[in-house]
Amino acid sequence: MVRWSFKFPAQSFGKAGIIVANNIIYFAVDSSVSSGSIYALNTKDGSVAWTYTASSPDQSFGNPLVVNGVLYVAEQSSIPGNTPQLYALNATDGTFMWAQGIPSAATTTLASANGAIYFGGSGGFLYAVSATDGSLTWSSRQDGGPVSTPTVVKTTIYYASANYYVTALNTGDGSLLWHYLVGKPFAPTVSPAFYQGSIYIGSMNQNLYDLQANTGNLVWQVKAGVPITTTAAIKNGIIHVGLQRGSLRTFNTSDGVERWFYHTNGTIYTSSPPVEG
């Protein structure tokens, strides 16, 4: 039963990324006739809590991130020659807090930990900027940079790289800790998933990998038979992944043995399988 629905303004459409925090749903909206916006809806009834609209019709926003009551969002496009901006808004009411120029437009969704915001940019860079004011902390160019949202665990940031590696960097300075060569591309919807000391990730080469999180050593790999197109969702020792031809498959974290699968009539591509927390 549908509890509520939200109708987008005319000639506008939402992005793929939705963030839920403190009973509010946040997402970016693009428009073919006006500026991009950030929308905040109440989870209870879908009513609009607030909106924030870009000042220029040439601006649009990427997927937002909410941390400690602050919503961070990067410009996805900007006026040619202008420096792209990272924005910080009050997550409760949408009040503008600050905007800071960043070295490159973000090519991945933002990630956060340890007082920093991390994102991939053009030219194969991973950037770390201060969550306080958006100033650049460091930049790193390893393995072609991330193709999807980085995953941060304590003092390590993991990503699927453009040069077909699973890459681990130090969050303090962006130095390389280890990398593991998969040898084939990752879907842009696939990020590393951390669970009990391991990194789990699937590739377009049809393999699912278990790598030791601290060393990058291979624990096991298993052939799924179809390219894996979602980030793994893991609970109670069971890995759930979506595959390109529309099947949902589950595997043991301990040994990669398949448990069960379900074929849909479509393609599973844009999000991880829902797993109850």
Rounded distance, CA 228 to CA 242, Å?
Answer: 6
- pLDDT of the residue at 271: 54
Q: Please report how many Cα atoms fall inside a 13 Å half-sphere around the Cα of residue 97, on the Cβ side.
A: 18
For 207-212, which contacts have Cβ atoms below 8 Å and span 24 or more sequence positions?
207/182, 208/232, 208/239, 208/241, 208/251, 208/256, 209/166, 209/180, 209/182, 210/253, 210/256, 211/166, 211/180
From CA 261, how far away is CA 239, in angstroms rounded?
11
CA 54 to chain centre: 22
pTM of the prediction?
0.90
- Domains contained in the chain, CATH given: 184-277 (2.40.128.630)
Per-residue confidence in pLDDT tens, the chain, 277 aa: 888 998 888 877 776 678 899 999 999 998 777 788 999 999 999 999 999 998 777 788 999 999 999 999 998 765 667 788 999 999 999 999 999 999 998 999 999 999 999 999 999 999 999 999 999 999 999 999 999 999 999 999 999 999 999 999 999 999 999 999 999 999 998 999 999 999 999 999 999 999 999 999 999 999 988 889 889 999 999 999 887 766 788 899 999 988 877 667 656 555 554 444 4
- Amino acid identity, position 168: A
pLDDT computed for residue 243 by the predictor: 78
pLDDT for the residue 275: 45
